A and B are shown apart, each in its own frame.
Chain A
């Protein structure tokens, strides 16, 4: 295995997926606003689609299946982003903030 030959290896893509997932988890835990958490959630979805694409390229019997699932993930992510942004706008209208620390009505 040579460094210029990495693009032909399954593990390279799986490690890229794992890195994206780790970035997403870190952002979900460390971000302090809802929009920052939404951005991190997009990374988790991107990690899943990278893995599906890698498996469909290297090991799958039908290489189209992974690509189709990636397309479905993209559609679901677009729907999720639209809904999340409209929820955020509704929350901002009520609280004048989307900071996680301010949305604590149920905390007592």
Chain B
């Protein structure tokens, strides 16, 4: 079973095509981790948003390695292009500067080492679960390319597709109403 989840058992040479692909994958993962580290730890929020954009660029590369160039493109367009820009606008409109811990009136006991240990515990538990579990591999029904995605989107998942468009419409209206109220 482990052989199926880790497909070819032979180790590739560094200067073969597979070896170069492996090196590019490691660089992509490094991009994800660096971005996440910056986004969570940066003191200034503008840098945190830059870290978010870096991390999601790397994640688009990870999606590319998962054989889905369409989702990689969508990740770049929606997350890097839209969500990060929205958050950057929010920072510019609300100009928050995080207080240093000395200037804060009350420091929650959850912040700091306890938050770190909670996150580390969750990571350890989940990665142990991921490595230990024997995943059952099913035979694939289709290629999983963009044609299969489009067909499934308009047949099996048509109702959710319509509901998502309704959700987006409602969120646009809600954002307008919320941001407009109280303006004088």
Contacts and interface: CB of A to CB of B under 8 A. Distances in A.
Interface string B44-70: 010011001001100100110111101
A2 B67 CA distance: 20
Given A16-B62, A20-B36, A22-B119, A75 B83 contact: no
Interface of A is mostly: helix
A8 B8 contact: yes
B52 to A, nearest CB: 5
Considering the complex of A and B, which 7 residue pairs feature the smallest CB-CB distances, nearest first? A63-B144, A4-B22, A14-B130, A2-B11, A29-B115, A79-B171, A22-B123
B137 interface: yes
B144 A9 contact: no
Interface residues of B, number: 102
Given A23-B37, A59-B135, A101-B105, A13 B62 contact: yes
Contact of B71 (A29, A38, A70, A92): A70
14 contacts: A11-B130, A18-B123, A22-B119, A26-B118, A43-B36, A53-B63, A56-B144, A57-B67, A63-B67, A63-B144, A77-B83, A85-B87, A90-B182, A93-B182
B166 to A, nearest CB: 10
Contacts of A99: 96, 98-99
Interface in B106-143: 106, 110-112, 114-116, 118-120, 122-123, 126-127, 130-131, 135-143
